[in-house]
Amino acid sequence: MNDTRRAVLEALSDGPVSGPDLADGLDVSRAAVWKHIEALREAGFEIESGADGYELSEVTAYNGPAVEFGLEAPFSVEYHDSVGSTNDRARELAGEGATDEVVLADEQTGGRGRLEREWTAPPGGVWLSVVTRPDIAPAQAPLYTLAISVATARAAREAGVDARIKWPNDVVVPVGDDGDYRKLSGILTEMEGETDRVEWVIVGPGINANIDADTLPESATSIREEAGDVDRRRFVQRLLESFDDHRNDLEGVVPAWRELALTLGQRVRVDRPGGEIVGEAVDVTESGALVIETEDGRETVSAGDCEHL
Ligand code: BTN
């Protein structure tokens, strides 16, 4: 959204303001004010016009300008009604030098999961990817994944869902007290860099938001199923704001993750490149690796597919 349009919106959200006052205040013509108001209405901003002037009454849209408006984090948002994969589009943007850019879509036709799996992403979900260029060592990049999983779980909890985290970064909803769960969200993290320097990190969370659970695999659930439909604009804003807070305080990420973890205390099987490992998950390290108490002692696993037994 350009600066003048943003200024028009801000003025309208503070109460009724007349066209001439807006034009004077922003130093633009009345015709320009009218054009901005029409464009904002088309973008889903409900603007009433009365005797006292124009006033913003509601934001019903789910698109780039709507998510950017009122967002207290420094991201710009590129929205698509439909896109192949938000991570693929984010990779293109990263290649062009973008940073702090979010790709957001209502639907993905080629959504990608971890380990080359497909990810079903029908309309109504929250599918997004964030391009960042952090000044961190590659070994710290997993903290970005943990940060976005904490942010996702927190946003889901604010929407009324009992969201927890399964190591490393699935956001799940517990079923009973035995460590069983249904998956609400998965995260695909991709990065590029050299041994001592990260060039970019893309974190891509996919959240089953306003989706009928019976269209999802039995092991999955949705916000609609757990708590009713969520305002996706507010949800994305909360998620991005929380992610921004955590990336600026990387030391606080693991403690925040621990508070939401469903995996700690569970008997787990982790399928990792060096083979399978079974035991009780007892902790996570400062870099987010899982510490497992096995029959032969403690082992630390930094990546793999984790299953609660
Ligand atoms: C997983 O659990 O395997 C990770 C799933 C990640 C899906 C999200 S949806 C938004 C972003 N774009 C993609 O193509 N994938 C991620």
Q: Answer yes or no: is the C-beta of 298 below 6 A from any ligand 1 atom.
A: no
Q: Is 121 in the pocket of ligand 1 (CB under 6 A)?
A: yes
Residues 168, 52, single domain; the answer is no
Average pLDDT of span 21-26: 92
Query: Does a cis peptide bond (omega within 30 degrees of 0) precede residue 123?
Result: no
Q: What is the pLDDT of residue 80?
A: 97
111 lines ligand 1 (CB under 6 A): yes
Ligand 1 mean position, distance from CA 105 (Å): 12
How far apart CA 233 and CA 192 sit, in angstroms, is 29
Residues 117 and 48 in one domain: no
Which tokens in the block code for residue 197? Answer: 């320097």
CATH of the domain at 283: 2.30.30.100
126 and 27 housed in the same domain: no
Q: Show the domain range for 276.
A: 267-308
Using DSSP, state whether 185 is helix, strand or coil: strand
Domain count across the chain:
3
Q: Are residues 110 and 245 in the same domain?
A: yes
Nearest atom in ligand 1 to the alpha carbon of residue 85 is: 14
* Structure confidence at residue 2 (pLDDT): 79
Predicted pLDDT of residue 292? 97
Tens digit of each residue's pLDDT (9 = 90 or more) over 222-241: 999 999 999 999 999 999 99
Residues 96, 203: one domain?
A: yes
Mutating to test ligand 1, I would choose from 91, 127, 236 the residue with most ligand atoms within 8 A of its C-beta, which is: 127
* Across 53-69, average pLDDT: 92
Is 206 close to ligand 1, i.e. is its CB under 6 Å away? yes
Q: Report yes or no: 204 and 187 within 8 Å, Cβ to Cβ.
A: yes
| Average pLDDT of the residues in 175-188 | 92
Give yes or no for a contact between 247 and 239, defined as CB atoms under 8 angstroms apart: no
194-218 mean pLDDT: 94
pLDDT at 4: 87
pLDDT at 58 over 90: no
Quick one: how far is CA 213 from the chain centroid?
20
Q: How many helices (H) and strands (E) does the chain have?
A: 9, 14
On the 0-12 / 13-18 / 19+ scale of CB atoms within 10 A, 224 is middle
Decide whether any atom of ligand 1 lies within 6 Å of the 85 Cβ: yes
The predicted pLDDT at position 210 comes to 98
Residue 44: pLDDT band with limits 50, 70, 90: confident
Q: Which of 53, 52, 1, 5 is nearest to 28 (CA)?
A: 5
pLDDT at res. 184: 98
Is there a single domain that holds both residue 164 and residue 195?
Answer: yes
- Per residue in 244-298, pLDDT (tens digit) is 999 999 999 999 999 999 999 999 999 988 899 999 999 999 888 999 999 999 9
Q: How confident is the model at residue 206 (pLDDT cuts 50, 70, 90)?
A: very high
Q: Which structure tokens are listed for 232? A: 């996706």
Q: Ligand 1 centroid to 152 CA: how many Å? A: 13
Average per-residue pLDDT for the chain: 94
In a shared domain, residues 216 and 92: yes
pLDDT of residue 254: 94
**What is the atom index within ligand 1 of the atom nearest the CA of 169?**
2
> Residue 43's pLDDT is what?
87
Same domain, 148 and 245: yes
3-state secondary structure of 219: coil
Q: Is the pLDDT of residue 1 over 80?
A: no
Rounded Cα distance between 177 and 181, Å, is 9
At residue 125, the pLDDT reads: 98
Of all atoms in ligand 1, which is nearest to the CA of residue 113? 3
CATH of the domain at 45: 1.10.10.10
Region of 9 please: left (phi>0), alpha (psi -120 to 50) or beta: alpha
Question: What's the CATH number where 143 sits?
Answer: 3.30.930.10
Instruction: Give me the pLDDT at residue 193, please.
Output: 92
Does ligand 1 lie within 6 Å of residue 129's CB atom? yes
